[in-house]
Amino acid sequence: MRKRIYEIIEPSKSTSLFSRLYDSIMIIVIVASLIPLAFKQEYTIFVTIDRIAVSIFILDYILRLATADFKYNKRKPSSFLRYPFSFLAMIDLLSILPSIALLNNSFRLLRVFRLIRAFRVFRVFKVLRYSKSFIMIVNVFRKQKAALLAVISLAVAYILISALVIYNVEPDSFDTFFTAVYWATVSLTTVGYGDIYPITDVGRIITMVSSIFGIAIIALPSGIITASYLKEVSQSAAYSDSKEETP
């Protein structure tokens, strides 16, 4: 019974009618639960939608937790402890907590989550579970983890070095080191908000150099992710073609 439930609630594990129906219902509920966030007023219909949605989310979370051993292919108690700390499980929990006080007034201590209305936005990430593209992107980051970590380390080092240089060259423009780090980050990404900028010629030269090198550093992860994603798409297409050709 539990295995059948797992096959239905896991979109990537089953192609049955019940699984597709469950996926469609969950996507509709997720989208509906986000509609109230577009309004500042609290209407009765929105409260009803939120109660229904969060009830379904809680049931979905319980079912996934109850079948966690099938997800990790390990019939061990540790599977049930591991699942709550997975990325999508934490997204599910963050989607539930802000509205849990609506279901039962006895949850007085958790009513603080009603103040964190923006937490409901996390519900949009629940849709990622039903996206094949997202699964491919996750595979890309997993396979290119070492290369991306190297680029991130390079970017962080460059930001800190640039911040140290500009902080000492332009002490009047940058009151704190954090301000210098903020400037270095903005310069690295070539955004240039214009709220903080150097006023001396030396500072402006450092800004130009930082921006030029920033373009090169920002381009590295883009190239890595794009190349790996195209390879993942090609492999997925080849796998689909091979399944169609198999009698």
Which CATH number does the domain housing residue 107 bear? 1.20.120
Section 64-88 average pLDDT: 80
Looking at the chain, the whole-number percentage of residues with pLDDT higher than 90 is 0
Residue that terminates a domain, selected from 72, 95, 130: 130
At 109 the pLDDT is 47
Alpha helices (H) along the chain: 2-9, 17-34, 44-66, 68-71, 78-82, 87-96, 100-103, 132-143, 145-169, 177-188, 201-245
Residue 218's nearest CA partner among 196, 191, 183 is 191
Looking at the chain, the whole-number percentage of residues with pLDDT higher than 70 is 80
Tens digits of per-residue pLDDT, 151-168? 889 889 988 998 898 888
Residue 67's nearest CA partner among 13, 103, 29 is 13
Model pTM? Answer: 0.58
Q: Taking 50 as the threshold, does the pLDDT of residue 108 lie above it? A: no
With 0-12 / 13-18 / 19 or more C-beta atoms within 10 angstroms meaning exposed / middle / buried, residue 93 is middle
Q: Taking 70 as the threshold, does the pLDDT of residue 148 lie above it? A: yes
Look up residue 82 and give its two tokens.
Answer: 């591991």
With 0-12 / 13-18 / 19 or more C-beta atoms within 10 angstroms meaning exposed / middle / buried, residue 237 is exposed
- Residue that is written with structure tokens 């001396």 in the block: 200
Residues 193 and 126 in one domain: no
Look up residue 138 and give its two tokens.
Answer: 């996750």
Which CATH number does the domain housing residue 232 bear? 1.10.287.70
Residues 105 and 189 in one domain: no
Structural domain range at position 62: 2-130
Could you give the CA distance from residue 217 to residue 66 in angstroms, rounded to a whole number? 44
Q: For the chain, how many structural domains are there in total? A: 2
At 14 the pLDDT is 53
At 76 the pLDDT is 72
Could you give the CA distance from residue 165 to residue 160 in angstroms, rounded to a whole number? 9
Tens digits of per-residue pLDDT, 179-222? 889 888 888 777 767 777 788 888 888 888 888 888 888 888 88
Residues 149 and 103 in one domain: no
At 107 the pLDDT is 47
> Residues 6 or more apart from 217 whose CB is under 8 A from it?
151, 154, 155, 158, 188
Residues 31 and 59 in one domain: yes
Section 228-239 average pLDDT: 76
Question: pLDDT averaged over the chain?
Answer: 78
Residue that terminates a domain, selected from 130, 158, 189: 130
Residues 105 and 188 in one domain: no
Residues 20 and 55 in one domain: yes
Residue that terminates a domain, selected from 130, 156, 182: 130
Q: Who has greater pLDDT, 238 or 95?
A: 95
Section 70-86 average pLDDT: 78
